Structure 1
Amino acid sequence: MNFPYSTKKWMKLGMAAFLTTAIGVGTLTASANTTENAANANNEAATETPQSDAPATAEGTDTAEEQAAADEETSAAQPTAVENTSPANTANTPAANNSATSAAVEDLTLERAIEQALETNVTLENARLNKKNADINYRLSYPTPAKMPEEAIETLSAAQAKYVQQETQDLNKKLNELNLAVTESKIKLGAQQQYYDLVYAMDDLELKKKSLARAQAQLKVAQAAFDVGTKAKTDVLQAEMGVASAQAALVSAESALEIARMNLNDFLGVDLNKKWNIVPEHKQTAKITKTLEQAQQEALSKRVELVQAEGELQLAEVNVQVIEKYSALSTYQGRIARNNVETAKLAIEEQKRAVSKEVAQAYFNLNSALQAIEFQKKAMESAAESYRLTNLRYENGLATTLEVIQAEEELANRENQYQRAIQTYNLAVVNFDTALGN
């Protein structure tokens, strides 16, 4: 077999290939060893570093411990920050909701209560609708007889249709407007009454809370005295009865408050469960600047009832004039018409007396309510001082628990009477203004 190279040549080529393979394998092995050695060196360096630093100084140890503690704090702080952020957001959410709820709860002043009643009171809405219907009927029925020419009138009934019926319709239209004004006045009065009833219920609830706190304090004193043997068990039992009585009064006051709120909402024509942020307002206590006679004259010039009575008199007189012109007053219709005039005059006098009497009652009630505030205030202050002195006597062994309880009940009663006097005065002012026709 013939080869292109000699045997010596082939041996050289074989050695070259072997060396090339050996060099490549060695290079790869050396590279792998180098990487492994580098990794081992790093591990040994990491292991030897604390060992070499450990015997150095106490400061090194402290530094390492502080660093480790710092690392732990840092790692612990990260989840804590997340937890704090989340609850903070959670806490802020209810706060925001509460703010939104507070914003949704409207403030209710006395003026706002009146405005709300004039907007949504059902009785007033019905009165307005009735007036609209009356106005429509007036426009429908007015033109026909009123346009009848005078020369076309031949009978009394035709004359009455033209003049009396027209006068009646005009009077009714005017009275419908006045009746609506009267209804609005009553709604204003009612709104103020309901508002002050709610304010009183709120004040009464606060008084009941104070009374309960005083009773609980007395119970603690009696229990402490019994524990050390200076008071008998009956003192504790009496104090417990006082607490129970105060708790019952508090529950009753809470119920009265909810009922007063519901009554106000019902009168205002809003949701019965609607919550209000009540802004208490009280009338300024001041003496009446008018005399009774001046107040009565003012009412006689403003009250709608008198305007209505005078309008009915005018209508009766028109009927008499028509009968006199187109018939005769000696007829039965003429007699009845003249009697109706006298009846209307008597009605005016009767209405004047009724208005004068109403104004006088409101006037005297306002004066007495003003004086009652001062008297009830003095009585409340005296009851508070009596309660304080009774407590001092009890602490010195000169009064019984029953006496303390009785003094506290008297104080609570006087506080309630004072608040009631304020409410009575507020309503007296409103009633007096209404009686004047304002």
Structure 2
Amino acid sequence: MPSTPRKRALAGQPAPVCQVRPVRSPHRNVPAWLLALVLLAALFPAPSQAQNTSPVDFAAQKYAAPGEASARAASPAPEPDAVVLDMQASVSRALQTNPQIESAKAQLRGAAAGEKSAAGALGPSGNVSASGQSQQIKTQFRYPLPPAGASILNVAPSSTANSGALDLNIHQNLFAGFKLLSNYQKAALAKESAEAGVSAAELKLVNFVQQTFLSLLKARADVKSAEDSVARLTDQLKVSQDFFDVGLKAQLDVLQNQTALASAEQTLLAAQNDVLTQTAQLNVSVGFPLQQDVGYAGELTQTPFAMDLARCLDLAYQNRPDLAVAVKSVEIAAKDARIAVSGLYPQAAADLDFISNANRSSINSDLGNYDGQLWQAKLSMQWTPWDNGATYFAYAQAVENVKKIYADMVKLRLDIGFQVKSSFLNIQSAAKRIGVAKTGLEAAKENYRLAVDRYQAQVGASLDVLNGQAQMTQAESDLSKALADYLTALSNLYAASGVKNPGLNPG
């Protein structure tokens, strides 16, 4: 039996050389390529899922709101029955289905969650930390023996040492230089701004749908006028051809009528295409498929408007949601400045900890095997009175940003006043044009009738008929344009005043 190190030392033999070798972790034996395959399998979806789901459908299924049918259906099927909507019904449906509104509402929900998060930061936080350590020590004793270079290796039994610690902590910020409070106030202002943003999105959508609806009605009026023009020119061409056939008129009259008819047909085709374009735009805005057959019912009629300019300006300054957003932006910028200056104040916090320790060793010793528990309360304070001007200049930058946003708000208020005044003047101008256009249309109709009678009586020229027809078509276009401009200006005035009037009802 080999002697112990103590006996060898007493006998005058050289002391052994002690070598401690840590045990390698078994995870090092795992090939790197196997770990890479596992990561790739987790990152990429299954082939069947990737092939059967388009990017739009995948995004809709994953992120669409529960009630948002338009987002979930990337290509919704048209409804079997024709749908009839007037302007008010179209606006109401757009407010329910248009993704712009859902986007604004999602921002509002996010702002509400941000407010709750900022409120939670004011209270205490619970923290848990744990650690564990395991050691396996293998000791080797090497004894040098004569002659030189010879030795005896003796391996002692391996020993293990395990330790663990658990820390349960409650942390409460006592003072953070008004940073946490300002963050909460900023989040509350952001929520109010998001609420105003929803109203602004709704007001913008109402105005857009009304504009598109009025453009559709104007295009239909142009189609009707162009169809009447083509019908009149067709009749006139037939009369000219009959007169030419019997030798009463020259071929020049026939050629002039053919040229005018071709031009009128070009105008008709352009107007018909405009109707299809505006219909498709309305379908998209109100949440219908592009190919859906929707009967948008309405006419270009002059709606009475009784409010004066002062009343419109008062409504605009009180109700415009974008002005409310601008005001909230100024207040949020002021909170940012307060957050920036918080670094100049001391920071104080309180902590309460429960710490538990456990140690286990294969060596039978009180020093190697023990448990411990500790309650600990701590107050801490940190202050950075000098940071080479970083905090001060950050605060100065935030203050200038407040001034900039305030100036933007003032400009927006001035722009709102101009929008109201401009729309109000456009209403007055369009109302006058409507009266003039009606008078001009009556005169153009009578002029055309007389020109046709004179031509058929062979005392008038074909060019007089063509001019009378062109003047009548232009008078019809002037009247429909004046009516459309009046209603468009009315829609713009309601939008500029911050008033949602889906049907442009008299007010």
Q: Does the aligned pair in 1 maintain the 2:302–2:486 contact within 8 Å?
A: no
Match of residue 98 from structure 1: none
* Separation of aligned partners in 2, 1:143 and 1:174: 15
* Separation of aligned partners in 2, 1:399 and 1:102: 55
Shift of 1:332: 4.2
Q: Does the aligned pair in 1 maintain the 2:216–2:275 contact within 8 Å?
A: yes
Match of residue 319 from structure 2: 302
* Separation of aligned partners in 2, 1:434 and 1:279: 22
126-135 or 224-233, larger mean C-alpha shift:
126-135
Match of residue 105 from structure 2: 128
CA, structure 1 residues 206+240, in 2 after alignment: closer, same or farther (shift >3 Å)?
same
Which aligned pairs between 1:277-296 and structure 2 lie closer than 5 A?
Answer: 277-282=295-300, 284-291=302-309, 293-296=310-313
Match of residue 153 from structure 1: 174
| TM value normalised by structure 2 | 0.60
Name the amino acid aligned to 2:229. S
CA, structure 1 residues 309+261, in 2 after alignment: closer, same or farther (shift >3 Å)?
closer
* Separation of aligned partners in 2, 1:318 and 1:126: 26
Shift of 1:280: 1.0
Q: Does the aligned pair in 2 maintain the 1:287–1:367 contact within 8 Å?
A: no
Name the amino acid aligned to 1:299. A
How far does the alpha carbon of each residue in 1:54-88 deviate from its partner, in whole angstroms, 9 at most, with x for none? xxxxxxxxxxxxxxxxxxxxxxxxxxxxxxxxxxx
Confirm or deny that 1:373 pairs with 2:473: no
- Of 230, 235, 239, 1:217 maps to 235
* Separation of aligned partners in 1, 2:407 and 2:221: 48
* Separation of aligned partners in 1, 2:107 and 2:332: 23
How far does the alpha carbon of each residue in 1:43-63 deviate from its partner, in whole angstroms, 9 at most, with x for none? xxxxxxxxxxxxxxxxxxxxx
Shift of 1:125: 2.7
344-353 or 334-343, larger mean C-alpha shift:
334-343
* Aligned length, in residue pairs: 332
Name the amino acid aligned to 2:240. A
Shift of 1:338: 4.6
CA, structure 1 residues 205+102, in 2 after alignment: closer, same or farther (shift >3 Å)?
farther
How far does the alpha carbon of each residue in 1:334-360 deviate from its partner, in whole angstroms, 9 at most, with x for none? 545554554444333222212111111
Match of residue 241 from structure 1: 259
Name the amino acid aligned to 1:146. L
- Of 485, 494, 497, 1:424 maps to 485
Name stretches of at least 5 consecutive residues in structure 2 with no aligned partner. 1-77, 126-171, 347-384, 386-390, 500-507
- Of 218, 223, 232, 2:250 maps to 232
Match of residue 71 from structure 1: none
Q: Does the aligned pair in 1 maintain the 2:104–2:194 contact within 8 Å?
A: no
CA, structure 1 residues 246+333, in 2 after alignment: closer, same or farther (shift >3 Å)?
closer
* Separation of aligned partners in 1, 2:333 and 2:255: 77
How far does the alpha carbon of each residue in 1:97-126 deviate from its partner, in whole angstroms, 9 at most, with x for none? xxxx99921211011111221122232233
CA, structure 1 residues 103+284, in 2 after alignment: closer, same or farther (shift >3 Å)?
farther
Q: Does the aligned pair in 1 maintain the 2:431–2:486 contact within 8 Å?
A: yes
* Separation of aligned partners in 1, 2:95 and 2:196: 16
Where 1:274 maps in the other structure, the secondary structure is: coil
Q: Does the aligned pair in 1 maintain the 2:186–2:335 contact within 8 Å?
A: no
Match of residue 362 from structure 1: 423
CA, structure 1 residues 114+155, in 2 after alignment: closer, same or farther (shift >3 Å)?
closer
Match of residue 394 from structure 1: 455
Confirm or deny that 1:382 pairs with 2:443: yes
Name the amino acid aligned to 1:198. L
Shift of 1:197: 1.3
Q: Does the aligned pair in 2 maintain the 1:110–1:192 contact within 8 Å?
A: yes
Q: Does the aligned pair in 2 maintain the 1:316–1:340 contact within 8 Å?
A: yes
Where 1:146 maps in the other structure, the secondary structure is: coil
CA, structure 1 residues 312+220, in 2 after alignment: closer, same or farther (shift >3 Å)?
closer
* Separation of aligned partners in 1, 2:461 and 2:192: 71
Where 1:390 maps in the other structure, the secondary structure is: helix
Q: Does the aligned pair in 2 maintain the 1:380–1:415 contact within 8 Å?
A: yes
279-288 or 110-119, larger mean C-alpha shift:
279-288
Q: Does the aligned pair in 2 maintain the 1:288–1:367 contact within 8 Å?
A: no
* Separation of aligned partners in 2, 1:119 and 1:155: 44
* Separation of aligned partners in 2, 1:312 and 1:125: 22
Identity %: 24
| TM value normalised by structure 1 | 0.68
Match of residue 193 from structure 2: 175
Which aligned pairs between 1:194-209 and structure 2 lie closer than 5 A?
Answer: 194-209=212-227
CA, structure 1 residues 124+308, in 2 after alignment: closer, same or farther (shift >3 Å)?
closer
* Separation of aligned partners in 2, 1:257 and 1:340: 48
Shift of 1:316: 4.7
CA, structure 1 residues 148+355, in 2 after alignment: closer, same or farther (shift >3 Å)?
farther
* Separation of aligned partners in 2, 1:144 and 1:408: 75
Shift of 1:215: 0.6
Match of residue 74 from structure 1: none
Q: Does the aligned pair in 2 maintain the 1:287–1:370 contact within 8 Å?
A: no
Higher helix share: 1
Name the amino acid aligned to 2:470. E
- Of 129, 143, 146, 2:119 maps to 143
Name the amino acid aligned to 1:144. G
Where 2:192 maps in the other structure, the secondary structure is: helix
- Structure of larger gyration radius: 1
Shift of 1:195: 1.1
Shift of 1:224: 2.3
Name stretches of at least 5 consecutive residues in structure 1 with no aligned partner. 1-100
Q: Does the aligned pair in 2 maintain the 1:383–1:411 contact within 8 Å?
A: yes
Q: Does the aligned pair in 1 maintain the 2:207–2:495 contact within 8 Å?
A: yes
